Structure 1
Amino acid sequence: MLTGGQLAGLIVAVFWAVLVTFIALTLLRLARLLREASDVVRDFGDQAGPLMDDMARTVRRANEQLGRTDVITKQVAGVTQNVSAVSTVMSSVMGGPLVKAAAFSYGVRKALANRDEGARRDGARRDGGERALQARSSGRGRR
């Protein structure tokens, strides 16, 4: 049989064998993981170049469009100023005479309306007065 020292040495040897096996398996898995990571990095590096080129093209086109938009905005600002100036001139040129013409036409309409109303009232008075005279002269006025 085994002595106490031999048994302890056997237990330590088995423990070390299990530990070395565990470490070896872990290192194999770690090596596989590093291989996969290096493949991912390589693929990313291969795709990053064309992606950066596309991004640079997109930024250049966006800058071109912004330049065009800036030119258009400046032209619209100029048109706005021109329209404002034209409307100011038109209101000063046409505004006064149009207001005067509107006031004149209102006055004429008011005068004609007052004249027609006065003529109707005078006609009603004349008709009423003639009827009263006819009624008195025919003897029908009083009974």
Structure 2
Amino acid sequence: MSGGDIAGLIAAGVFAVLVAIIAVPLVKLGKVFDETTLAIRDVSKGVAPILEESTTTIQEANKQLARVDVITSNVAEVTGNVNSLVALFAASLGGPLIAIASFGERCGRRCEAHTPSMTTLQTALTARCVTQRRSPSVTRATATIRARARRPRRPAGPSIDDP
């Protein structure tokens, strides 16, 4: 064997070691690709039922939305009917009710005008005491006036607050 042959053998050995060193990462990379392929298969097997379920859910949601659309149109129709009914009520009964309310208010004001005030009661009591030649008792007169002023005034007709 000559020196060139030995150098060729050494070079061949170094090349074989280099190929072996490079082959190890390539084998590991191949295993990574195999695992990735298996993971993609598992995911695709799991995605298919999820897509079927989501399709079913979307179809059911569309059915419910169609029902809600029908309900919404019915509510709009009822709202229009109620609006018409309120307008009819206001047109037919609103005017007479306003007239009755204003009549009651006028009657109340006239009743208040004919009810004596506290100063009128005081003057009448003092005048009676003077004509009877008695000295008016301030305590009794004041008590009488206060008692009359405390009496609750009742309205002529039924009140809005009455049940």
Shorter-chain TM range is: 0.7 to 0.9
Task: Return the offset for 1:77.
Answer: 0.7
| Separation in structure 1 between the aligned mates of residue 45 and residue 103 of structure 2, nearest angstrom | 85
Q: Which amino acid aligns with 1:23?
A: I
Q: Which structure carries more helix by proportion?
A: 1
Q: Which residue of 1 aligns with 2:158?
A: none
Q: Which residue of 1 aligns with 2:34?
A: 35
Q: Does 1:90 align with 2:94?
A: no
Task: Return the offset for 1:85.
Answer: 1.1
Normalising by structure 2, report the TM-score.
0.67
| Separation in structure 2 between the aligned mates of residue 43 and residue 9 of structure 1, nearest angstrom | 50
Q: Which runs of 5+ in 2 are unaligned?
A: 135-163
1:54-96, CA deviations, whole angstroms, 9 ceiling, x for partnerless residues?
1110110010011011111111111111111111111222221
Task: Return the offset for 1:124.
Answer: 4.1
Output the aligned Cα RMSD: 2.9
Task: Return the offset for 1:126.
Answer: 8.9
Q: Which residue of 1 aligns with 2:143?
A: none
Q: Which residue of 2 aligns with 1:70?
A: 69
Equivalent residues in 2 for 1:36-51 (5 A)? 36-51=35-50
Q: Which residue of 1 aligns with 2:140?
A: none
Q: Which residue of 1 aligns with 2:115?
A: 116
1:18-73, CA deviations, whole angstroms, 9 ceiling, x for partnerless residues?
32012211221122111111111221222222122111101100100110111111
| Separation in structure 1 between the aligned mates of residue 90 and residue 14 of structure 2, nearest angstrom | 104
Q: Which amino acid aligns with 2:104?
A: S
Taking structure 1 as reference, are residues 126 and 39 closer, same or farther at Cα in structure 2, changes over 3 Å only?
A: closer
Equivalent residues in 2 for 1:13-24 (5 A)? 13-24=12-23
Q: Which has the higher contact order (CA 8 A, sep 6+)?
A: 2
| Separation in structure 2 between the aligned mates of residue 114 and residue 4 of structure 1, nearest angstrom | 145
Find runs of 4+ consecutive structure 1 residues off by over 2 angstroms.
3-15, 120-127, 129-135
Bigger Rg over Cα: 1
Taking structure 1 as reference, are residues 28 and 116 closer, same or farther at Cα in structure 2, changes over 3 Å only?
A: same
- Give the count of matched residue pairs: 133
Q: Does 1:80 align with 2:103?
A: no
> SS of the residue aligned with 1:117?
coil
Normalising by structure 1, report the TM-score.
0.75
Q: Which amino acid aligns with 1:65?
A: Q
Q: Which residue of 2 aligns with 1:60?
A: 59
